[in-house]
Structure 1
Amino acid sequence: MREAKHIAIVLAAGKGSRMKSDIPKQYMVIGEKPILYYSLQAFQKNTKISEIILVTRIEDLEYCKEKIVKKYNFTKVKEIVAGGKERYNSVYEALKVISKKENLNNDIKTNCYVHIHDGARPMLTQTIIDNCIENVEKYEAIVTAVKVKDTIKVVKDNQIESTPDRNTLWQIQTPQSFEVNMIKSAYKDIIQKIQNKDDNLPTITDDAMILENYNNRKITISEGDYKNIKVTTPEDIIIAECFIASDNK
């Protein structure tokens, strides 16, 4: 088997409606650079990441090429791919590009791994990436996460129904990392089910759910960082700016 290869998929195709801004959140500026810059820079710096696939909206392809990739000399960004309507469509488009570039046989386990990351998580660290690389080579399917700090309630119709054991709860982050053929097969299966209007599917909110609903595969937790927030609302901008300013001191 060939030497392990690690490829990052950075997702930047969202509109960011909860940000209440005309500018997609991934292009908003914090610390004098667009939010998207920071996650791309983290993967660029990591010596074990061989390349990056950037996924964006079709209308932003040229902008990302000129104002992000070329401007900041992200040499590991080998492809800028147009995303789809939903997050899972965007990830699948990137997986198809990787499969074609690597000439992968879909029926054979590879030594190629993908690390799927939200471009709106600017606080990605080398420690997180290294943890993902080490753990995915061991377990083939891992997600970055941190333990929940607060008490969580299950609520229905504004009434508390139950209180899950906090010791069993983790807050899921990205990157989420997988052996490439495994996750591509799962994505292909779930998209076919969605196209066939399978009513039994839950709302898909992350990559792990794709695999969970494909073959109930066990997925291992990789330790994340509480600073690894996703910038979603205006309040998150303030928090991310504080983190970045602190790191730059």
Structure 2
Amino acid sequence: MEQRKKIAIIVAGGSGTRMGSAVPKQFLELSGKPVLWHTVNAFKQAYNDMQIVLVLPEVHFDYVKPWLHEFSTGAGVMLVKGGETRFHSVKNGLHEVKEPAVVFVHDGVRPLISTTLIRACYEAALSTGSAIPVIDMKDSIRQVEGEANKAVDREQFKIIQTPQTFLSEWLLPAFSLPYDPLFTDEATVVERQGRRVHLIPGEEANIKITRPLDLTIASALLKEKK
């Protein structure tokens, strides 16, 4: 199988309002380290030639400077200033993609991503152009329209995770499109170019930390991992 440069664009723009915390959620402590440290570490563990582009609001750079040097071996970590939306933040990160690569776009607040899933995304993107990890919905869901609501078949729906992973020749042209508020993630941007994205099985443990309860769950999952 061909080998490609690997670039992880880790987007961490959240302010932590749902956490009710003064510290943005990506910098809250999880098992003795900031959440974002665990996220960066996961990608470094998966491939030693992984280049990491960390996209943050400029006012948050000081949060990461104390520990960035820990990841300075290999391809290292680059800090990039975020934009006003996720689309603009990812676009800023993509400026660092200068040669053909497999590009992972990952939420900074998903620190429990496994090496297995990162590698599965890489291999699927190499063979199909893209890899979007998804998991099944376990709850019953209803569609609400004004006053009316109806049950819908949850089998027809999937929960989307990250890293959304693409060949750079898919992702770079897509992000040269003008911004549209309907771009909720990278897959929707790539689809606008007429490409079909490829879904792969995600992981139950690859949770997104947005509320205090998530931090408790992540802490328990990390203990199990160790």
Pair 238,128 (structure 1): closer, same or farther in 2 beyond 3 Å: same
Task: Provide TM-score, normalisation by structure 2.
Answer: 0.92
User: What is the aligned counterpart of 1:211 among 180, 186, 190?
Assistant: 190
2:79 aligns to what? 80
Contact 1:40 1:74 in 2 (8 A): no
Q: Distance in 2 between matches of 1:118 and 1:77?
A: 19
The 3-state SS of whatever aligns with 1:189 is: coil
Where do residues 95-110 of structure 1 align in structure 2 (5 Å cutoff)?
95-99=94-98, 102=99, 110=100
1:121 is aligned to 110
Normalized per residue, the structure richer in helix is 1
Letter in 2 for 1:73: F
8 Å contact kept, 1:8–1:49: no
**Does the CA contact (< 8 Å) of 2:68 and 2:77 recur in 1?**
no
Q: Per-residue deviation at 1:159? A: 3.8
Secondary structure, aligned partner of 1:39:
helix
> Amino acid of the residue matched to residue 219 of structure 1?
V
Q: Which residue matches 2:15?
A: 15
- Identity, % of aligned pairs? 30
Matches within 5 A, 1:117-196: 117-157=106-146, 159-160=148-149, 162-191=150-179, 194=180
Which moved further from structure 2: 22-31 or 40-49?
A: 40-49
Structure 1: state its 5+ residue gaps. 103-109, 195-200
1: CA distance, partners of 2:137 / 2:79 = 35
In the other structure, the counterpart of 1:107 is none
Once the two structures are superposed, what CA deviation does each residue of 1:173-217 show, in whole Å capped at 9, x if it has no partner? 0000011132121112042xx4xxxxxx52x321111112x2232
Number of aligned positions between the proteins? 224
Distance (Å, rounded) in 2 between the aligned partners of 1:49 and 1:16: 31
Give 1:21 shift: 1.1
| CA gap 1:32/1:117 in 2 versus in 1, 3 angstroms | same
**Offset of 1:158 from its aligned partner?**
5.7
Secondary structure at the residue paired with 1:17? Answer: coil
Shift of 1:49: 4.5
